[in-house]
Amino acid sequence: EDGYDLWLRYRPLDAAQAQTGRSHVAQLVAPAATPTQRAARDELRRGLRGLLGADPGTADAVDRAGALVVGTPASSAAIARLGLDLDGLGDEGFVIRSVEVDGRAATVIAANSDIGTLYGAFRFLRMLQTRQPLAALDLRDAPALDLRLLDHWDNLDRHVERGYAGQSIWDWHKLPDWRDPRYTDYARANASLGINGTVLNNVNASAQSLTPMYLEKAAALAGVFRPYGIRVYLSARFSAPREIGGLDTADPLDPRVRRWWRDKADEIYRLIPDFGGFLVKANSEGQPGPQDYGRTHADGANMLADAVAPHGGVVMWRAFVYSHEEPEDRAKQAYSEFVPLDGQFRENVMVQVKNGAIDFQPREPFHPLFGAMPDTPLMMEFQITKEYLGFATHLVYLGTLFEEVLEADTYQQGKGSTVAKVIDGSLHGHGLTGMAGVANIGSDRNWSGSIFDQANWYAFGRLAWDPHASARAIAGDWARMTFSNDDGFVGPVVDMMMGSRQAAVDYMTPLGLHHLMGEGHHYGPAPWVEGGPRADWTSVYYHRATPEGIGFDRSSGGSDAVAQYADPVARVFDDPKQVPEDLLLWFHHVPWDWRMRSGRTLWDELVHRYSRGVAYVRGMRETWSGLAPYVDAERHAEVAAFLAIQEQEAQWWRDASIAYFRTFSQRPLPEGEAPPPESLEHYRSLSFPFAPGN
Ligand code: BDP
């Protein structure tokens, strides 16, 4: 067990469950005329063989009780005769129902399209894997979002920006001739969650990706993914017309540039007829963009949108921007640049917004753009890879982070205007919707760098299908499918996962602190970082500690970032007494002896939170060691070893942060709190010159 099988392990059910299972799947009646039909049928056979201990065998028609019948009204005569109500399921939804076919009890997985049946097949397998009852089924489901994408930050030399799971899984050198079987397993895993698109290359894009040689490689991947309902997208480098097109400009209003992109789009669609479209990072962190020519983000996005529109493609234009000139408060910039452009984008443009306004911190308030651009479809961008959350060794379940953001109420149309409703299009009536996750996938056998990081890929996929789903329920399914269905295992593991993200916030950046990680690579504590090319890449810019107090004043008396939120959110964030304490130092600069709701002073509370985070990790180690009987030795040992690293590093974070901040607070540690064992100089001297990822 090295983790390769992810949540699709299909290990045998116990005898009684297998027997019940077999009675519901006495035979499989599933068409196999198209690649997608074959993918669904093969997955069912693989899963049923594993789970039930026997291949039910396939038949052309139902001839016994307990058949599993799969298909669409077009692909299956039996399903056509049932006259099921498939309205409203779209192309990707499905029903799973207990019915009678020609007088015999059967279960059907039915949909309007082959892809819908594939999703239904995976759902049926999940029900078996998680021990759901199989009698009297009446399930109907369809994805809430159109685009459910992974964004790979993979370079053509196979280095993965912010990747902690080995090299890129795309072996560009051997493509298109060698199609690693792993690409098929990648597609299976994603289809099992309903992920239906993948952006193959880094947002810090190379124009090379758009050259004929690389387009053929992308087309080969598209061919592998197509049966699984996954479309390929590319990050487009805005200056490509200059770099590979022989033009002397990339001005989006120049007719030659517009023509170049139209021709490029035509060329791509000749090779990849179902190409999804472009993702663009422009005028951000040194990337080229329309502003280089005095044009707006809308001008740039619309030019590309016009190029792909005839083929049904989309443009995902990122709102992660901050200017060359130092902003007074970087958190305000995306809103300031994008809100004035609301309504100016073409219909096939989505603006892709990170969950928070700074950069994937362990905790951020939701991005103020959500709900603030009613005339533009906004797409969520989460980061699955743990750039700021301890890379692959720290056990941090991100389902709760995603859920917290999706459930946040923007109040943009009054109470109940949650981020999830902005994203699913219901708040402002948008037809085009989506969610992207920056992938944590690499060439490691376990795909994600650690077993528990697989849960973050899993949770992302489930929430992209249904942004209203529960992080706890998702963790439960994942734990059952990945490890064991035993309640003695599932309960403690899910509890441990559910608190793990708060623990990371506590030992890294409690109470709204942010961006205090090691410079560049973002690993380990470095609240002392100052100087360098720009202030907003330092730690001191964000924590602003002085002998008087700590925190970034974004209130109406400070940078006034709070004004970018709707009332009453703005009012609550503006008031240090009302703001959730988890965001206190994000929005306010408060004195060290500020009285917290716990009754402690701010300083004491800060120290308490650091220690609480470390204690939680210690607790996870104990929990995990008690779960050894439920987990195979190989995966158990890896998780245990990583938890030991995490505990050491949580302690390092606590000690280094306290050693540093007490030089400002000038206060003793609260009673019972151990002082950092080393000097501040010692912590400052620790560095990771070769930390992976950046
Ligand atoms: C930051 C990363 C950087 C990315 C950038 C982005 O540090 O590597 O290129 O975001 O999202 O989180 O464009």
Q: What CATH number is associated with residue 258? A: 3.20.20.80
- pLDDT at residue 659, rounded to an integer: 98
Question: Which of 154, 160, 203, 333 has most ligand 1 atoms within 8 Å of its beta carbon, as the pocket-test mutant?
Answer: 203
Which DSSP category does 319 fall into? Answer: -
- Domain membership of residue 269 (yes or no) is yes
Question: Which of 161, 284, 285, 380 has most ligand 1 atoms within 8 Å of its beta carbon, as the pocket-test mutant?
Answer: 285
- pLDDT at residue 312, rounded to an integer: 98
- Domain membership of residue 7 (yes or no) is no
Mean pLDDT along residues 136-159: 98
Among 561, 588, 615, which residue terminates a domain?
A: 588
- If asked whether residues 503 and 611 sit together in one domain, one would say yes
- If asked whether residues 491 and 579 sit together in one domain, one would say no
- pLDDT at residue 687, rounded to an integer: 77
- If asked whether residues 289 and 395 sit together in one domain, one would say yes
For the CA of 287, the closest atom of ligand 1 is 13
Ligand 1 binding pocket (C-beta < 6 A) is: 161-162, 203-204, 281, 285, 320, 359-360, 387, 694
| Neighbour tally for 579: CB within 10 Å | 21
Which residue segment(s) compose the domain that 160 sits in? 147-482
pLDDT at 324 over 80: no
- pLDDT at residue 198, rounded to an integer: 99
- If asked whether residues 55 and 87 sit together in one domain, one would say yes
pLDDT digits (tens, 9 = 90+) for 335-376: 999 999 999 999 999 999 999 999 999 999 999 999 999 999
pLDDT at 316 over 80: yes
- If asked whether residues 267 and 403 sit together in one domain, one would say yes
286 Cα to the center of ligand 1, angstroms: 11
Domain CATH code at residue 64 = 3.30.379.10
Which DSSP category does 600 fall into? Answer: S
For the CA of 161, the closest atom of ligand 1 is 8
- pLDDT at residue 690, rounded to an integer: 74
pLDDT digits (tens, 9 = 90+) for 210-253: 999 999 999 999 999 999 999 999 999 999 999 999 999 999 99
According to DSSP, the residues that pair with 104 across neighbouring strands are: 101
- If asked whether residues 159 and 134 sit together in one domain, one would say no
pLDDT at 595 over 80: yes
Mean pLDDT along residues 129-136: 96
According to DSSP, the residues that pair with 199 across neighbouring strands are: 151, 233
Going by pLDDT thresholds of 50, 70 and 90, the confidence category of residue 322 is confident
Question: Which of 162, 287, 352 has most ligand 1 atoms within 8 Å of its beta carbon, as the pocket-test mutant?
Answer: 162
- pLDDT at residue 325, rounded to an integer: 72
Going by pLDDT thresholds of 50, 70 and 90, the confidence category of residue 433 is very high
Mean pLDDT of the chain: 97
pLDDT at 528 over 90: yes
Helix residue ranges, H only, 549-632: 569-574, 584-587, 602-626
- If asked whether residues 539 and 519 sit together in one domain, one would say yes
- If asked whether residues 124 and 210 sit together in one domain, one would say no
Among 466, 482, 498, which residue terminates a domain?
A: 482
384 Cα to the center of ligand 1, angstroms: 13
| Neighbour tally for 207: CB within 10 Å | 18
287 Cα to the center of ligand 1, angstroms: 11
- pLDDT at residue 153, rounded to an integer: 98
- pLDDT at residue 692, rounded to an integer: 78
Among 462, 482, 502, which residue terminates a domain?
A: 482
- Domain membership of residue 6 (yes or no) is no
Q: What contacts 561, CB < 8 A, 6 or more positions away?
A: 329, 331, 332, 357, 368, 554, 587
- If asked whether residues 160 and 185 sit together in one domain, one would say yes
User: What domain count does the chain have?
Assistant: 4
- If asked whether residues 40 and 63 sit together in one domain, one would say yes
- Domain membership of residue 308 (yes or no) is yes
439 Cα to the center of ligand 1, angstroms: 13
- If asked whether residues 603 and 576 sit together in one domain, one would say no
- Domain membership of residue 492 (yes or no) is yes
Mind giving me the DSSP string for 205-234? --GGGGSHHHHHHHHHHHHHHGGGT-EEEE
Mean pLDDT along residues 396-410: 98
- Domain membership of residue 4 (yes or no) is no
pLDDT at 19 over 80: yes
For the CA of 522, the closest atom of ligand 1 is 7
- pLDDT at residue 691, rounded to an integer: 81
382 Cα to the center of ligand 1, angstroms: 12
- Domain membership of residue 1 (yes or no) is no
- Domain membership of residue 10 (yes or no) is no
pLDDT at 688 over 90: no
- If asked whether residues 321 and 463 sit together in one domain, one would say yes
The pTM of the full predicted model, rounded to 2 decimals, is: 0.98
- pLDDT at residue 327, rounded to an integer: 76
